[in-house]
Amino acid sequence: MSCEKRIILNAEGLSLSRLVLGAWRLLSGPEKPDATSVARLINDAIDLGMTSFDHADIYGDYGVEEVFGAGLKHWGGKREAIELITKCDIMLKSDARPDNRIKHYDTSAAHIKASVDRSLKNLHTDYIDVLLIHRPDPLMDADETARGLEGVVNAGKVRAVGVSNFSPSQFDLLASRLPFPLVTNQIEVSVVNTHSLFDGSLDHAQRLRYAPMIWSPLSGGRLFTGDGPQEKRVREALKAVADETGGADISAIAIAWLLRHPVRPIPVLGSLKRERLAAMAAALALELDRQQWFAILKASTGQDVP
Ligand code: NAP
């Protein structure tokens, strides 16, 4: 193994698996999965070492948590064998939320409590391992948001809290009002989306020693389907490295490229297909050398580093 098997998030020893399964696309297929197939997915993920599952209240137009929760109930394994991450604050215009007249954010203490209570019910669980504020809210009152987060932690409903898509200063603001650390910032990074390497986000994580969770680690599939010059260059560079490392799938090289970063990124994988998840899990046994890593960066940006 080239990297740690699990990432410890806080002093209490809460940890996530090195690769997390993202549930966003659970209701994207033509058929709604039943409890048996969700239970199978949970078992498949665990077999591949992925014990952590990423959710949000809004996934599947507010429907994913409930479908996953039915599968979790059917699964029948020990709750402590897995970790559940979920998020709140995005308010979608949806038939499921008739009071939302417009898409907006809500980081009020009352909304945090209400959203957590709904997630607990939908997921059929007594506690959430990690609750994230999904998007930075321009109306966030840091004192009040912190009070809301403390409330759900003190009530035993949530073990740890973090954020998603926050800039370093937004992270610092909220952290400054909390009596416990924010354990992660879930942000987008991939071989075709490298902004966080240069905008201070990963520097901030390394400075404060928290492991960022990485969403859309394969750019939501654009890496495979995109026919622009960037995607073509990157696929070629991944293939060249795959050949050098003994023929791994290019998805594994793309994940290994993320894992190579010293900040200890935690990729959140979006495919729910066992064979694709298995191909990406092979990344854990790969370690790209510096020049392989920079060759992929060059393919992404289209130029040598200065
Ligand atoms: P991703 O892993 O970048 O993309 C997954 C997509 O790529 C799937 O549609 C998959 O198709 C497709 N794909 C095509 N070829 C593939 C291959 N060879 N191997 C693997 N996948 C392939 O991740 P994502 O779904 O965009 O996002 C991952 C997770 O991040 C989500 O589930 C969610 O939990 C989280 N997320 C968080 C935020 C946030 O704001 N915090 C935003 C977006 C997502 P198939 O499904 O057909 O395999």
Q: Is 271 in the pocket of ligand 1 (CB under 6 A)?
A: yes
CA 132 to ligand 1: nearest atom:
41
Catalytic-residue membership of 59: yes
Q: Is 165 in the pocket of ligand 1 (CB under 6 A)?
A: yes
Atom 10 of ligand 1: nearest residue by CA position: 271
Give the residue ranges of the chain where pLDDT is below 70. Answer: 1-3
Per residue in 164-210, pLDDT (tens digit) is 999 999 999 999 999 999 999 999 999 999 999 999 999 999 999 99
**Residue 1, pLDDT score:** 39
C-alpha of residue 115 to centroid of ligand 1, in Å: 24
Q: Is 125 in the pocket of ligand 1 (CB under 6 A)?
A: no
Burial category of 31 from C-beta neighbours within 10 Å (exposed 0-12, middle 13-18, buried 19 and up): exposed
Domains within the chain, CATH numbers bracketed: 16-176 (3.20.20.100), 184-200+210-306 (3.20.20.100)
Q: At what angle do helices 290-301 and 229-244 cross, to 10 degrees?
A: 170
C-alpha of residue 263 to centroid of ligand 1, in Å: 21
Burial category of 14 from C-beta neighbours within 10 Å (exposed 0-12, middle 13-18, buried 19 and up): middle
Show the CA angle centred on residue 80, arms to residues 79 and 85, nearest 5°: 80
Provide the whole-model pTM.
0.98
Say how many Å lie between the first and final Cα of the chain, rounded: 33
Atom 42 of ligand 1: nearest residue by CA position: 215
Check: CB of residue 93 under 8 Å from CB of residue 102: yes
- Neighbouring CB atoms inside 10 A of 40's CB total 16
Tokens of 276: 């694709």
